[in-house]
Amino acid sequence: MRYFYSRAELAQMASLIVGDLLEGRQKQEPYTESSVQNYKIGSRLVTPDGLVWHYGRADAVGVSQTYRRRGVVSAIIDYNYKILAAAPSGSTQIVINDTAARAKDYWAGGHASIFPLPGYLNDQPRMIKSSTPGNGTSVTLTLYYPIHYALKVDDDVYCVQSPYSEIREAASADSKGHNMALGWTYIPVTPLYYAWVHTWGICQSVHTGTKMGEDAGDRDVYFNYNDGTVFSGKATAFGSCQRIGTIIPDTTLGQRPYFLLQLDP
C-alpha cells in the first residue's frame, strides 16, 4: 500500500530544509541580520552549500565585530514553576504560574519537565510547541505531545527556553564557568536582532594563539568557554570541555584551522 504524506507533513519536512518562515514575514539569508523576527526561533535551514543553520535572537550583549567567527553561546537559564490548573491525561496544554511579561511564544522550542506530585516518579519530558503571552499571572504552554499522567494544582514544572532564543558572544563565562557553544556567526549581530547561527559543516575559527593539528592525534576540536576560541587535541585531552568538531587533516594554517563543525545537524 502506497503511503501519501499529508499537506501538514509535507510542510513540516519543507520547514526543516528552508526554515519555518513566520506568516507575513520575508526570507532572510545567512550572513545577514534583521531587526524583526522572520522565522521561528530555532528554525533549521540547510543551504545549497551543505551547511546547516539555526535561527536565533541576540540578547542585550549581541555579537561584536571582534567576537564574530567565534563560538556564539546561549544565555538562557532554567525556571521552576507550579501548575495553576488541573490537566487530565491526554492534555496538550498546561498552565504555569509564570508572572513575567512574556511575549507570545516566548517558550516555543523550549523544554518542559513536568512532575506530578508527590515525588518525581512519573516525570513527563515534553518539548514546547507554543505559549501564550504573559498576563502577569500565568502562561499557557502548548506541548507537541500529550501528557500521560494527570496534573493537579501545585505540581512541578521545570522549563527552559530554546537555546537559540538568547545568543551572545563568548566574551565571558557565567559565575560557574559555564558557556555552551551553539555554533558560529560570521557577522556582528546587533543586540536584540535576529540572525542565523551556523551549527554543522565546514568552518574556520579565529586564531587561538597556539597552532592546531600539529601534534600526532590532534584531531578533536574543543570550545574555550571563556572567550569563544577553539583548540585541538587528543580525544581524551579535554574531557571537561565541549567538543565541537573535527579538524581537517594536515592543516597548514595552524592558528586559523579549518574544521568540521559538528554541533546540531
* Under 8 Å between Cβ of 111 and 159: yes
* 81-105: average pLDDT: 96
Q: Give the pLDDT of residue 176.
A: 61
Q: What percent of the chain has pLDDT over 90?
A: 59
What average pLDDT does the structure give for the chain?
88
Same domain, 128 and 72: no
Q: Which residue's C-alpha cell is 576560541? A: 229
* Under 8 Å between Cβ of 216 and 83: no
167 beta partners: 58, 74
More confident residue, 239 or 97: 97
d(CA 78, CA 158): 7
What digits encode the pLDDT tens for the residues 32-51? 999 999 999 999 999 999 99
Same domain, 93 and 167: no
Q: What total number of domains does the chain contain?
A: 2
Using the 3D structure, point to which of 160, 192, 216 is the last residue of a domain.
Answer: 160
Same domain, 72 and 168: yes
* CATH number where 148 lies: 2.40.30
Number of Cβ within a 10 Å radius of residue 12: 12
